[in-house]
A and B are shown apart, each in its own frame.
Chain A
């Protein structure tokens, strides 16, 4: 079964083969987890919970998968929606807390162990890039992650996000320019060559 394509594995899952779904999980777990971590600004603990939540929901919703659709685009569209809902609900909760709590009260801090950092290790540049991606505005971040990190085409990204491809191109370029500016300074974003 390991040589089966994603779509075939999903069909097997629909027929009740749990092992097929486990193979899909195995195939996509690192990509999806990385995507969630970045969408959640490196909050590892939340990312782990959301990861579990999403895959269980995906399994429960297996009948919703249309065999004609590319599995990876179906998967990432769902993952992205869950992340966005989560981020927005957290922002909402945070706003509620800030409004209602005494000034002395800290908002619930992220759990202490290694949270808040997505990066394993890596060079200074990659670490800064990781943080810069996490810091992208919400409207550009998913476009950038899907297109540049996950390798979906502009058209696929547009389809997943319900945007038109022209918008995706514009957003993607803005995100890219922001990242270059963050990493190399304004001068290198679109004019001067490397110092």
Chain B
């Protein structure tokens, strides 16, 4: 083993991860070489000092901003369990459209107001949907579907296409 190789394996020697044969070779080189002995000691001291390096905690506002940003990145999962009465958010999820779209149909969809909140009975919403339903043969009538600007989801049993009929 020469001095360069010896120097390059020193940190792993100190970490105790060298295979036995390399370790033995390194030890016998160090025993015979004052330069490498000094380097090994310096390496050891540096290792001790490195353990004293401060830990840098990022400021709380950075952590907060990261948290906010990743939450903003995440589309909220649509709810799938609904009680008999829905609020506007739940109605949007129930109809699988966004809240803005639902907003355009408020007044058309049966609703009632309670404590300043607009609420919808699920049964009434279903009736309302039934009143608007049309039988569409998706396979033979694609142009009509496109005319209604129906999303792909409509073919998967989604009700959002019903709302799109108005356009």
Contacts and interface: CB of A to CB of B under 8 A. Distances in A.
Given A29-B57, A56-B66, A147-B11, A126 B74 contact: no
A65 interface: no
B140 to A, nearest CB: 37
Instruction: Please classify the interface of chain A as helix (H, G, I), strand (E, B), loop, or mixed, using the class held by over half of its residues.
Output: helix
Contacts of A71: none
A179 interface: yes
Given A25-B66, A56-B66, A179 B46 contact: yes
Interface in A138-166: 147-149, 153-154
A109 B11 CA distance: 39
Contacts of A170: 8
B12 interface: yes
A170 B5 CA distance: 9
B114 interface: no
A130 interface: yes
Interface of A: 16, 18, 21-22, 25, 29-30, 33-34, 37, 48, 51-52, 55-56, 59-60, 118-123, 125-126, 129-130, 147-149, 153-154, 169-170, 172-173, 176-177, 179-180, 183-184, 188-194
Interface of B: 4, 7-12, 17, 34-39, 41-43, 45-47, 49-50, 52-59, 62-63, 65-67, 69-71, 73-74, 77
